[in-house]
Amino acid sequence: MNYLSRPLHIIPRIAKIALCFAIIAVLFVFSASALDEPAVTRCKAALVYNIENEKLLFSTGRGQILAPASTVKLMTAVVALDYYTEKGELDKPITVSYEMIKDVTGNNIGLVAGEVVTPRQLIAALVVGGSNDAAFALAIDSYGSIEDFVKEMNARAERLGMAHTYYTNPTGLDSEAARTTLEDTLIIALEAYRRNELMELAGLDRYVMDATNKSNTRYIHNRNYMVSTAVTNEYYDKYVTGINSGMTPAGGWCLVSTSRKNGITQLVIVMGAEREVFPDGTYGKIYSYVNAKLLFDWAFSNFDYIRVLENTRMICEIPVSLGRGVDHVTLLPEKSIDLYLPVDVDVEKDIVLSWALDKPSLTAPVKAGEVAGLLTLYYKDEIVGRVNLVVKNNVELYRLMQILYNLRSVVESKEFRNAAIACAALGIIYVIVVAIVRGRKQRRRSFKR
């Protein structure tokens, strides 16, 4: 066969169940070491992750403690959206208080005391425009204070397994105590991605916030330059669908972005990126976007779904007893398998097949499609797929063979052997008794003479 294979062996069904769990665990991590790595530059950490297949395709700077910067707003949005959704209060009126805006600095939409807005509007301003005053208003209205909201942010981070993250505010403004890692940022990015409401907002180039009692209509442009061209069209990408972008002096330029093309979604995170500064004081390229474009191009160009197994592929044969004119039957994969792999994979050399049968043989009648085993696929010693092995053709029962087989089974049974032994013993006893009786009769005749 064209595929490399491993010898036929038998494992019990319980072992196959255990194997299933092992497959699930292995698929969470994927090595792309066979490919030339992307030349990521001028940033502290970066990764690209395939969402549909839950595979980390590339990363650099893992484990570094980083300033979270704008990525904090991913957690702020998740906590706020969950709070108001659970209470059914996304459209309730919130009157902005002085406490909500008195400490606001940085990017904002200009909320004023006494202005009436809704949580839905504030979440949109937060996600699309990175609004710090929207973040403060949501925090105080939902949990009563910034401090209590931040406690919930940290509690949520702990529940999600973000072991190296600590938040000090809902905006991401620099703080000596605030910290995160690339791995933790991936966790909260995926958490945000799972909320359709947030992703719909994150993909807008502009959010139109209706006029309020204190403001005219606001036009809030997306701060992700891969989504919006309001500031520059240098980084625009029509396939990008979000999620978060911003910068702080300590955190640098940070970008969490998703791109979907041909049914495949890639997630890119770039942390601590630089921006070019020329001698005359003017600015050049922003390397969060430069690296994101590089990573998207690299992932889409180097990985794809590849047919590694056809359902017509003959894998092995299994003996069949009592079959009419047939003593073996061929096993095939139950379905074809496409795997998300590097495009330069050599299927014949790199994909290894290993199979296990439910039992050493089958007994006719056998139906085509009957499951008889399990086929496991390996790539670089990692399990990447599995499929049932099924019988290719029907096998009819040979009645005469069945009768002979049943007779043989009866003859070879323990009960039959015991009965035969008993009959033989009775026969021997009968012979002995008859011999004794005859001997006595002969002796009596001798005495009479």
pLDDT grade, residue 35 (50/70/90)? confident
Q: List the domain boundaries for the chain.
A: 4-26+306-391, 45-273, 413-448
**Residue 374: DSSP 8-state:** E
Taking the CA atoms of 284, 287, 291 and 292 in sequence, report the sign of the dihedral they define: negative
Per-residue pLDDT of 110-166, as tens digits, reads 999 999 999 999 999 999 999 999 999 999 999 999 999 999 999 999 999 999 999
Token pair for 94: 């919130």
pLDDT grade, residue 12 (50/70/90)? very low
- Residue 43 has φ and ψ, to the nearest 5°, of -150, 160
Higher-pLDDT residue of 421, 244: 244
The CATH number of 4-26+306-391, from 2.30.330.10, 2.60.40.1180, 2.60.410.10, 1.10.340.30, is 2.60.410.10
- Interior/surface letters 196-224, b for 16+ CB within 10 angstroms, e for the rest: eebbebbbbeebebeebeeeeebebbbbb
Token pair for 361: 């043989």
Looking at the DSSP bridge assignments, the partners of residue 347 are none
Inform me whether the pLDDT recorded for 244 exceeds 90: yes
Distances (CA, A) of 98 to 115, 130, 172: 10, 20, 21
d(CA 288, CA 189): 16
d(CA 20, CA 17): 5
Distances (CA, A) of 427 to 288, 410, 412: 98, 21, 21
Rounded to an integer, the average pLDDT of 232-247 is: 97
Rounded to an integer, the average pLDDT of 224-240 is: 97
Three-state DSSP class for residue 57 = strand
Token pair for 406: 């049943």
d(CA 185, CA 267): 11
Distances (CA, A) of 75 to 103, 105, 226, 417: 20, 19, 21, 76
d(CA 163, CA 43): 22
Angle, vertex CA 197, rays to CA 150 and CA 188, nearest 5? 45
Fold designation for 45-273: Beta-lactamase (3.40.710)
Rg (Cα) of the chain, in Å, rounded? 36
Q: What is the pLDDT of residue 91?
A: 98
Tell me if 284 sits within 8 A of 277, measured CB to CB.
yes
% of the chain residues with pLDDT over 70: 87
d(CA 235, CA 237): 6
What's the pTM value of the predicted model, to 2 decimals? 0.81
d(CA 77, CA 122): 10
Q: What is the pLDDT of residue 34?
A: 52
Give the burial class of 296: count Cβ atoms within 10 A of its Cβ; 0-12 exposed, 13-18 middle, 19 or more buried: buried
Per-residue pLDDT of 254-306, as tens digits, reads 999 999 999 999 999 999 999 999 999 999 999 999 999 999 999 999 999 99
Per-residue pLDDT of 154-182, as tens digits, reads 999 999 999 999 999 999 999 999 999 99
Higher-pLDDT residue of 417, 327: 327
Per-residue pLDDT of 53-97, as tens digits, reads 999 999 999 999 999 999 999 999 999 999 999 999 999 999 999
d(CA 211, CA 218): 7
**Residue 170: DSSP 8-state:** S
Tell me if 191 sits within 8 A of 156, measured CB to CB.
no
CB within 8 A of 125, min separation 6: which ones? 109, 131, 134, 207, 209, 218, 220
Continuous segment of H or E residues that includes residue 283: strand 283-286
Number of residues written out for the chain: 449
Place of tokens 């945000």: 192
d(CA 182, CA 50): 15
Rounded to an integer, the average pLDDT of 440-447 is: 70
Mean pLDDT (the chain, rounded): 89
Continuous segment of H or E residues that includes residue 264: strand 264-273
Rounded to an integer, the average pLDDT of 346-369 is: 95
Closest-CA residue to 255 (of 285, 288, 278): 288
Strand (E) positions, 141-237? 206-209, 218-221
Token pair for 199: 């992703």
CB within 8 A of 234, min separation 6: which ones? 225, 285, 289
Q: What is the pLDDT of residue 408?
A: 56
Tell me if 205 sits within 8 A of 230, measured CB to CB.
yes
Closest-CA residue to 127 (of 193, 187, 180, 176): 193
